[in-house]
Amino acid sequence: MIFSSIPFLYYFLPVVLILYFALTRRNGAVRTATFAGNLVLLSASLFFYGWGEPRYLIMIGIAIVSAWALSQVIPKEGLIGKLAFWLSVAISLGLLAWFKYADFFIESFGALTGMEMTALGIALPIGISFYTFQILSYTIDVYRGRILPQKNLVNFAMYVSLFPQLIAGPIVVYSQVEEHLDPAKRAVTAECLYEGAFRFVIGLSKKVFLANQLGMLVKLFGSISTDDRSVVFYWMYAVAFSLQIYFDFSGYSDMAIGLGRMFGFHFPENFKYPYISKSITEFWRRWHMTLGGWFREYVYIPLGGNRVSTGRWVLNLFAVWGLTGLWHGAAWNFVIWGLYHGTLLLLEKLVLSKILSKVPAFVSHIYMLLLVTVSMVIFNAADMGQALQYIGGMFGLGGVNLMSQLTGYYLRSYGLLFIFAFIGATPVVKRAAVKIQNSVNAKIMDFAEPLVLAGLLILVTAYLVDGSFNPFLYFRF
């Protein structure tokens, strides 16, 4: 089940909200959660995860129960605590390696040795990369003594499987939600509910109106013969996918944060207008911030970070970015994509940052956009052969024409969408909304804003009922 679907919007979510709030304790305008409410959220989350693929409930159940049970032993002194820690890590990484990377390693080994190897054809459970990282961060923090083990299995299971952020993030570290897992410390007001609904509808609109429509152009490009493509069309594809993945991923993060708010949780922000950056370093401070924070805290710093020799630091950097690429998908183009960004970050740290600080802002901005757009072509390619073909086409290699009649047609057809997407990827809309809110009478805004949200929801529903293109990029994660 996905957020941008009729079953979720009009069946699952309303039922869960009604059941959950029916079990809250009311104290004036504040509704405090109960343990029964936690059970509702856990049951709903497992139902949500099992929708369409109930067999993977067994796997997530094993991951949850083993991590919880072993975390009770980890704080013990001596060998037993260390064994419990490493066993928990081995189970988490073992499940991830088997389901996500077994076929990749088999095929890579076969290609490297020339041996005939048959892939196992293992299906990838959705969300496994996200909830595995959440379990690992919990286990590591218990081992470090930063947090105490969660004694209540229901509360821990809810932390791992909470449906708002289960399949698409943001990656939530246990300490960020520890307090609110206790129902007595989690409360919701009408204002919280509205704020959450507002954020959810905005994210849903980004997903349906922008990401999905851009995705149609990306899909269309793949169906057109090579002879009909032009340099401009290759760039249209690259820009369209760069914007699609941003609005898709940030839209899902908005929806997750909004849903969490509706149930009394405060999830971390995941995107901060990355396409306004003026360097790759700044881009990664704004893009998928919870993933970057996770790798920094649990991989980069434990390896020594930058507090080591230059050679070791370079090795640490490439290790982190190779793993970052591999986290996104079990294919070499993802690894290359990660190492590509690692290389750019290294160059900026050693040389380019001084140059970028001296050039006009628009030059550094174009530099960032160009390199990120090329990286997205690598990210979305079926393999590195296709990635190199597409990048070559973007720069006119292989005799590709600059323009074509077909390109002109699609440029006119999608031109307005690109303009909306360019604007939407900047803070312009948010700043304009704040100005309007500050200049218009509060009573008028209190009346108009819900009408706008309702209108957006009606339009989204019309698109979904019509069976519009509605891809889900996170099946590969």
Q: Which residues pair with 25 in a beta bridge?
A: 32
- The answer to whether residue 328 is catalytic is yes
Alpha helix ranges (H) inside 332-404: 332-347, 353-356, 361-380, 384-394
Widest distance between CA atoms in the chain: 73
Q: Which of 269, 247, 279 is nearest to 424 (CA)?
A: 247
* Paired tokens of 341: 């960004």
Helix (H, G, I), strand (E, B) or coil at 434: helix
Give me the catalytic one of 180, 328, 341, 365: 328
Q: Which of 343, 325, 344, 345 is nearest to 335 (CA)?
A: 325
* Paired tokens of 29: 């305008």
Q: Whole-angstrom Cα distance, residue 188 to residue 262?
A: 7
Q: How far is CA 77 from CA 73, 81, 84, in A?
A: 9, 6, 11
Q: Whole-angstrom Cα distance, residue 433 to residue 476?
A: 35
Q: Whole-angstrom Cα distance, residue 161 to residue 159?
A: 6
DSSP 258: H
Q: Parallel, antiparallel, or unpaired for β 25-27 and 30-32?
A: antiparallel
CA 325 to chain centre: 13
Angle made by CA atoms 429, 416, 473, in degrees to the nearest 5: 75
What's the number of CA atoms in the CB half-sphere (13 Å) around residue 227? 0
CA 1 to chain centre: 16
Helix or strand (DSSP H, E) at 25: strand 25-27
Residue numbers annotated as active site: 328
